[in-house]
Structure 1
Amino acid sequence: MSRHDMLGGVALVLWAFLGVLTRLAAGIPPLQLTAMAMTVGGAAGLAVVLARGQASRLRQGALAWAHGVGGLAGYHALYFAALALAPPVEANLLNYLWPLLIVLLSAPVLGLALDARRLSGVVLGLAGCALLLGGGAGFAPAAWPGFLCAAAAALVWALYSVTARRLAGVPTEAVAGFCLGAALLSGVLHALTETTVVPDARQAVAVLLMGLGPLGAAFFLWDAGMKRGDPRLLGTLAYATPVASTALLLAAGEGQAGWRVLAAAALVAGGGLLAAMGRGGKPAKAARL
């Protein structure tokens, strides 16, 4: 595993805390929460960029801005809509189809080979996610728009992640601007569709931690990992995120552990290990803006 693969792995660890932090911030409308947290993350990133004298790296072409702002804002808009319209646990797990899609899209988009070990790892990871889903059948018809939003969110994030490799000429520092752009877009949508809630102390701390971690630093680390690491490995290892997130929620007293969770964790961990043992393919050349 390369250094950039490890950076992408740290992003996955940070994303595992998103569920717990979201529970702490409960009561804040989704788009407002997205705008606030991304403002924190973008501002922190911008401060680092300016302190290093790298402001010029924020000047990127229209394609880079469309990719960054559209990917960050579009994914979260679809994700929060999914959790609002469908049962949140099932919608969240359906959203975690994006690791599978990353591994599969790496072949046609980037020209990376998918060997038998990686494909087997994908199958194990998908089986773990399916086991966590718990065989949820018989959902009300009103829930299906939410499930469609969850599936669309998975596709948007997978495409954002994989195509980031082809935009490797865009420096990671530019993500600070993309976060602020996504915050602005989310804020406008919030003003049009939601009622503003003034956060209390608990919610404010949750927003701060969320902005510094899952909706902040994680974006920069993931960007570096997807552009310079192995997207097939990171995509398969990402199956551990819903398991880790579930474990943290259980530790916080949000549920009870059972054989299903333990078995799913074993399948996900085994799939990640199997994928890590796969042979690497020749990466496609990054496109220049």
Structure 2
Amino acid sequence: MGNLPTLIGFSAVVMWSALAVLTAASGTMPPFQLSAICFLVGSTIGVAAMIREPARFRAFRQPLKVWALGLFGLFGYHFLYFTALRNAPAVEAGLIAYLWPLLIVVGSALLPGEKLGWHHIAGALMGLAGTALILLRGADGGFGGGSVLGYAAAGLCALTWSSYSLISRRFGATPTDVVAGFCMISAVLSAVCHLLLETTVWPETTGQWLAVAGLGVGPVGLAFYAWDYGVKKGDIQVLGVASYAAPLLSTLILILFGHGRATVGIVVACLLITGGAFLAAKDLLKARTSG
């Protein structure tokens, strides 16, 4: 497995780390509307790459279960994520949502042929402690202003993406081009839900429009193709460990762009969640070092 595919896969982690700051900068557009626009941009990227080789559209001939899994992961996660950041402070909601790497490593230890070790349990407890610290702190020292909804959506984000990633192991032969189809259908579903359930709100400034476009091109677009290519062609163990840096990178970016403050509580919560993920991944880290 070459280094280039691994680097391409890692670029997805970097792009996902910008998901929170771009969402926070995108204004007050409701979740389904934001999802529809972002997924439309993401699908356009994939379709544009396939047009030059029409035979690649055969990738869309997949069983219903593949489509169901893709929509569950992409559509479900991002609707919950945008909901979380619309109803809770960006740093806190982002940290909780980025519990997914920890849940992936703990969940994978429960799969057939794997064992749940002390470090998995300790890592999970550290992640839970970091989450508890965020929840007890709340938006302004407590729950208020709809933050309970935001924190709940963030927790469901982590469960959705971790379960999607674990189940995806069964579909390793599915071509990356199908991701364009996932994005396309997710865009249509988001648009329908928006028309039925939400009031349209357009970005008010150029900066907000650029943030929406950035979401569609990067975290809700190229990142999916890069991750899929990386895990299939690159070193999946390196990528697995690299993803545990996502909550730290996301938090640092948010604070850097003024969407949060580096309080003692945030720093401790970030260290607990990130540290817990690295502890749970101890076996992978050890294997890469000895290898």
TM-score range, shorter chain: 0.7 to 0.9
Return the offset for 1:61: 1.6
Distance in 1, Cα, partners of 2:87 & 2:25: 21
Distance in 2, Cα, partners of 1:76 & 1:83: 10
Return the offset for 1:143: 5.0
The answer as to whether partners of 2:80 and 2:154 remain within 8 angstroms in 1 is yes
3-state SS in 1 of match to 2:213:
helix
Distance in 2, Cα, partners of 1:26 & 1:133: 24
Distance in 2, Cα, partners of 1:35 & 1:191: 11
- Give the match for residue 67 of structure 1: 69
- Give the match for residue 13 of structure 1: 14
- Give the match for residue 182 of structure 1: 186
The answer as to whether partners of 1:131 and 1:264 remain within 8 angstroms in 2 is yes
Counterpart of 2:248 (choices 228, 243, 247) is 243
Return the offset for 1:158: 0.8
TM-score (norm 1): 0.79
- Give the match for residue 107 of structure 1: 109
| Total equivalences in the alignment | 280
- Give the match for residue 277 of structure 1: 285
The answer as to whether partners of 1:17 and 1:214 remain within 8 angstroms in 2 is yes
Distance in 2, Cα, partners of 1:44 & 1:79: 22
CA gap 1:155/1:216 in 2 versus in 1, 3 angstroms:
same
Distance in 2, Cα, partners of 1:258 & 1:92: 15
Q: Which runs of 5+ in 2 are unaligned?
A: none
The answer as to whether partners of 2:106 and 2:120 remain within 8 angstroms in 1 is no
Listed as ranges, the matches of 1:1-289 within 5 Å are: 3=3, 4-53=5-54, 54-85=56-87, 89-109=91-111, 111-112=113-114, 135-136=137-138, 139=143, 144-199=148-203, 200-227=205-232, 234=239, 237-262=242-267, 275=281, 276-279=284-287
CA gap 1:197/1:127 in 2 versus in 1, 3 angstroms:
same
CA gap 1:152/1:265 in 2 versus in 1, 3 angstroms:
closer
Return the offset for 1:135: 4.8
RMSD: 3.4
Moved more, 232-241 or 69-78: 232-241
Return the offset for 1:50: 2.2
Deviation digits for residues 215-249 of structure 1 (CA, Å, limit 9, x no counterpart): 00111122234456676764554342222122112
Distance in 2, Cα, partners of 1:85 & 1:264: 20
Distance in 1, Cα, partners of 2:273 & 2:151: 22
Deviation digits for residues 152-186 of structure 1 (CA, Å, limit 9, x no counterpart): 22211111111112111111111011011111111
Letter in 2 for 1:14: M
Percent sequence identity over aligned pairs: 43
3-state SS in 1 of match to 2:69:
helix
Moved more, 15-24 or 213-222: 15-24
Return the offset for 1:92: 3.4
Distance in 1, Cα, partners of 2:219 & 2:63: 26
Moved more, 170-179 or 142-151: 142-151
Deviation digits for residues 84-134 of structure 1 (CA, Å, limit 9, x no counterpart): 455554443322222221111213346455666666666666666666667
3-state SS in 1 of match to 2:103:
helix
Letter in 2 for 1:238: S
Letter in 1 for 2:102: L
The answer as to whether partners of 1:103 and 1:236 remain within 8 angstroms in 2 is no
Distance in 2, Cα, partners of 1:159 & 1:261: 26
CA gap 1:91/1:71 in 2 versus in 1, 3 angstroms:
same
CA gap 1:85/1:115 in 2 versus in 1, 3 angstroms:
same
CA gap 1:253/1:140 in 2 versus in 1, 3 angstroms:
closer
Letter in 2 for 1:75: Y
